[in-house]
Amino acid sequence: MEIQAPKGTKDMLPQDAYKWHYVEETLRKVSKAFGVREIRTPIFEHTELFLRGVGETTDIVQKEMYTFNDKGDRSITLKPEGTAPTVRAFIENRLFNEAQPTKLYYMIPCFRYENVQKGRLRQFHQYGIEVFGSKEPSMDAEVISLAMEALKRLGLKSLSLNINNLGCPKCRPKYNEALKKYLQDNYDNLCGICKTRFEKNPMRILDCKEKSCKEITKSAPIILDYICEECDTHFTEVKRYLDALDIKYTIDPGIVRGLDYYTKTIFEILNDDFTVCGGGRYDKLIEEIGGPEMPAVGFGMGLERLIMTLEKEEIEIPREDTIELYIGARGEDAKTAAFVLANKLRAKDVKAEVNHMGRSIKAEMKYANKIGAVFTTILGDDELQNNVLKLKRMSDGEQFEVNLNNIDEIESVLNS
């Protein structure tokens, strides 16, 4: 029986690799422009990290994590998101002792056991930014502007930014009490999971996707009516900085995001009502995971969803260079010479290919055309004896004669 990839996973095939390379390289360039450095964390972590970091009342922890016991009977989880592992690395490696802020980015595989649908996989890839050490509203705006710049550079034009403020530990209890009072009359109609959230984290009910819960919460109290003066001032300043950058936004009190660690600013970026990025501030997470008291802000975006959005918008992604030179050969001596020449050119980063399939000369030229070779050449006894290489440009048939042993001359023609 044929073995297939597990449900919710997807192969990246060679013909699609250029899309990933383009997106990843664009994101790296934008990250560097903002002074953000790369971090790489293990693919799995101790389960406790996500229980403490992501939150026990979230869908991720309650329904979606890939958790197992290893041979030492330790509970291990494939990471479902990138923030908690990055915070753990920040604390463990004592990066908080360095000059702040610390700006980090990552591109990682993540794992969530959820219903498979378009744009949602059980193994997916995430680009994320995490900035530690700054409590200033300007940093919230900078992180948002980084995300907007990255998406614009990729060619997305129909972008909209929604923002909200979730308050802080000082003002959120007051809101939670008001929310619980509102939900009390409809408690029996809440889904089973939301009933468990009612006491521990009632705000999480606002993020439930169950139809009955969405109907109940559509008229729920708004968090912005309950935030303290500090949170209100912070939110006002974030908006002022966004205005200064001419970044348009909509205040959406319905945004709560799907993770427990957010405080104050949260945001989502949509492209034609399709969410492509989400994030916010999480000033207490570093302390909760065992580090010093230190503010933080960041975001994440799924790369599969991002590429799917680019394709949906029919944004042309530049294809990578094809084979620059295909070297055919007649006879064993010529075949050896072609093999050596190709490797000399590859050492100079020239994309060269030779015949490894025993094809005839006619078949070789068909193959060269199929793989999109820019130039072709055929080596034979005459070429070897005269130390000559005849390069043919496939686009117009023009031929160039060069010294077979002069790699620089060959490279110059290929670059012409």
- Ligand-binding annotation for 98, yes or no, is no
Q: Tell me the C-alpha distance between 91 and 329, whole Å.
A: 59
Longest dimension (CA), the chain: 94
- Ligand-binding annotation for 182, yes or no, is no
- Ligand-binding annotation for 330, yes or no, is no
Burial 362-377 (b: 16+ CB within 10 A, else e): eebbebbeeeebbbbb
Q: Tell me the C-alpha distance between 351 and 323, whole Å.
A: 5
Q: Tell me the C-alpha distance between 319 and 15, whole Å.
A: 10
**Token pair of 277 as six digits:** 């990025």
- Ligand-binding annotation for 257, yes or no, is yes
- Ligand-binding annotation for 261, yes or no, is yes
Q: Does residue 245 come out as left (phi exceeding 0), alpha (psi in the -120 to 50 range) or beta?
A: alpha
What value does the CA radius of gyration of the chain take, rounded to a whole number of Å?
A: 28
Q: Tell me the C-alpha distance between 42 and 57, whole Å.
A: 24
The CA–CA distances, whole Å, from 250 to 135, 163, 203, 206, 307 equal: 22, 6, 21, 19, 25
Q: Does residue 300 come out as left (phi exceeding 0), alpha (psi in the -120 to 50 range) or beta?
A: beta
Q: Peptide bond preceding 101: is omega within 30 degrees of 0, i.e. cis?
A: yes
Q: Tell me the C-alpha distance between 8 and 304, whole Å.
A: 12
Pair type for strands 102-111 and 37-38: parallel
Q: Tell me the C-alpha distance between 121 and 400, whole Å.
A: 50
- Ligand-binding annotation for 55, yes or no, is no
Q: Any residues with CB less than 8 A from the CB of 343 and at least 6 apart, and which?
A: none
Q: Any residues with CB less than 8 A from the CB of 108 and at least 6 apart, and which?
A: 40, 41, 43, 79, 82, 125, 126, 128
Q: Any residues with CB less than 8 A from the CB of 174 and at least 6 apart, and which?
A: 226
Q: How many CA atoms lie within 13 A of 279 on its CB side?
A: 30
- Ligand-binding annotation for 82, yes or no, is yes
Binding site per annotation, positions for L-histidine = 81-83, 112, 126, 130, 257, 261-262
Binding site per annotation, positions = 81-83, 112, 126, 130, 257, 261-262
